Amino acid sequence: MKITIVAALLALAPAAAMAQKWEVGVAGGYSFLNNVNVTGGPSTATAGFAPGFAAGAFLGENLYRHVSGEIRYEYMQSNLRLTSGGQTADFTGAAHALHYDVVFHTAGGSEMPVQGFASIGGGLKAFMGNGTESASQPLSQYGYFTKTNQVKPMLTGSAGIKVRVSSGVALRFEVRDFATQFPTNVLTPPPGVKYSKWLNDVVPMVSLVFTTK
């Protein structure tokens, strides 16, 4: 899935280079997710996802002087995790995010040496459990790891700067947040146990961006 989406976006790079007001980019970073509280279990516990690498691609159009739009895809390595009393249980996992963002730029245009920006958008995030299920899973009194997928509606936003390297080439540095409800089909609480509702995935990212003249 991630290879197909990234390849499709990158395949549009030659067309973007010939069109007016378009840019295409590739991004990399590291994903940090918050843990949520587990209630109803025998003792204090948290559920969540381990930090992991992130990569993505995007295609954007400069709609107005200070506003552009982007369609974006990100892949995140996100292993499932339960923690209680100094013990941790992990399960291999990943996530895919597909969304559209509205990006607000500071004055000066894309040819400025440094340009600030902020974005807000929405889309979908698919959580995937990829490990091997086990009947003797550690910390199963707080949750069950499942080899399944779950798609959640997602809100996302970012802030950062774009630094022009040369005509038509720039680097973007940003911190992005992906907010969803917790995917309880992938990491499932047992009867009588509940998880806190919201999950935030904070991802510092660096992007290489190719723009039109």
Secondary structure tally for the chain: helices H, strands E: 2, 15
pLDDT on residue 79: 94
* Confidence label for 109 from pLDDT (cuts 50, 70 and 90): low
Q: What is the CATH number of the domain that holds 12?
A: 2.40.160.20
> Nearest to residue 184, comparing CAs of 153, 146, 155?
146
- Find the mean pLDDT for residues 49-54: 95
Please say if the pLDDT value at position 5 is more than 60. no
Domain count, the chain: 1
Q: What is the mean pLDDT of residues 63-79?
A: 92
For the residues 169-186, what does the mean pLDDT come to?
A: 96
| Model confidence, pTM | 0.84
> What sign results for the dihedral spanned by CA atoms 33, 35, 36, 41?
positive
pLDDT of residue 110: 59
Residue 7 has pLDDT above 70, yes or no: no
Mean predicted confidence (pLDDT) in 164-171: 90
In this structure, of 5-9, 145-149, 195-199, the range with the lowest mean pLDDT score is 5-9
**Which residue did the predictor score with more confidence, 21 or 174?**
174
Tokens representing 111 are 């040819």
Domain residues for the domain of 131 are 2-211
Residue 9 has pLDDT above 70, yes or no: no
> Which residues does 37 contact at the CB level (< 8 Å), separation at least 6?
45, 46, 195, 196
**Is 111 a residue whose pLDDT tops 80?**
no
Q: What's the pLDDT at 29?
A: 97
**Per mean pLDDT, which of 30-39, 93-102, 193-202 is the most reliable?**
93-102
pLDDT at 74 over 80: yes
Residue 21: per-residue pLDDT? 80
